[in-house]
A = this chain, B = another copy of it.
């Protein structure tokens, strides 16, 4: 397997436009580096962004990226910033939010490893209309939009993948939009939990767990943290979910899904 060219040094040269992003400049031992490379490549190969892209091409594209890491709550980009980069999460997770007047916050989507964070398909001269914030310590590969655009031209499959990703996002948001305008809160919350658990849930002794606060669940569902808290407390007592501080886990996935039907 050809050595992937590292860009740790490059990231020192290139201006880091991402707010709060710290370049990975710690120089690990060669073994750790090999290991990191391997992890990165396998992840990338499973990302929807690189679906049906040849491994050799994938490696070339990845080698042109620089690596960044984010701490929990770091902003990856801010609404209003010009779109300069394409960011592929390799670990951790992030939320895409918008703010209403009076500071109310809405979560438009969550991103996990293998997901592209940010405005795919936007004209480079456009501006972000959402803010992305890390939910946990995360790593990412970052390309400048110009560089990525060049790759898109050379590898048409890349652009096809982007189209597909956008389409997926649109469909999910359409589903959420339909729910928020027709279903009541309990149904929306249970559906949203199912979606989020499928996307980002982690296996924790026999159940799936998602690390989101009541408030974040409310912002995902279009309600208040109070209502979320009441519903979760209820479901907790009925044995459908188990609630923790800033986390919910589900053992009885079936019951959660059925919850939506009955109510």
Whether A183 lies near B98 (C-beta < 8 A) is: no
Cβ contact within 8 Å between B167 and A130: no
What copy number does this chain have within its complex? 2
Return the contact of A180 from the options B119, B121, B175, B222 (Cβ within 8 A): B222
Stretch with Cβ within 8 A of B (4 or more), from A36-44, A157-165, A227-235, A237-245:
A157-165
Min Cβ gap A132→B in Å is: 13
* 18 A-B pairs whose Cβ atoms sit less than 8 Å apart in the complex: A100-B182, A106-B177, A108-B177, A108-B178, A120-B163, A121-B164, A129-B171, A129-B174, A129-B175, A130-B174, A156-B156, A156-B159, A159-B163, A162-B163, A163-B163, A170-B170, A181-B222, A181-B223
In the complex, A176 has a CB within 8 A of chain B? yes
Residues of B within 8 A of A177 (CB): 106, 108, 173, 176-177, 180, 222
| Measured CA separation A171–B173 after assembly (Å) | 10
Contacts of A123 in B (CB 8 A): 164
Chain B contacts for A222, CB-based, 8 A: 177, 180-181
Partner of A167 from the list B122, B156, B181, B183 (CB cut-off 8 Å) is: B122
Closest approach, in angstroms, between the C-beta of A223 and any C-beta of chain B?
8
Given A130-B174, A153-B156, A170-B169, are A121 and B181 also a contact pair (CB < 8 Å)?
no
Give the 3 A-B CB pairs with smallest separation, nearest first: A181-B222, A100-B182, A121-B163
A166 touches B121 (CB 8 A): yes
A26 within 8 A of B: no
Within 8 A of B (CB), among A202-249: 219, 222-223
Give the contacting residue for A174; candidates B98, B122, B163; CB below 8 A.
Answer: B98
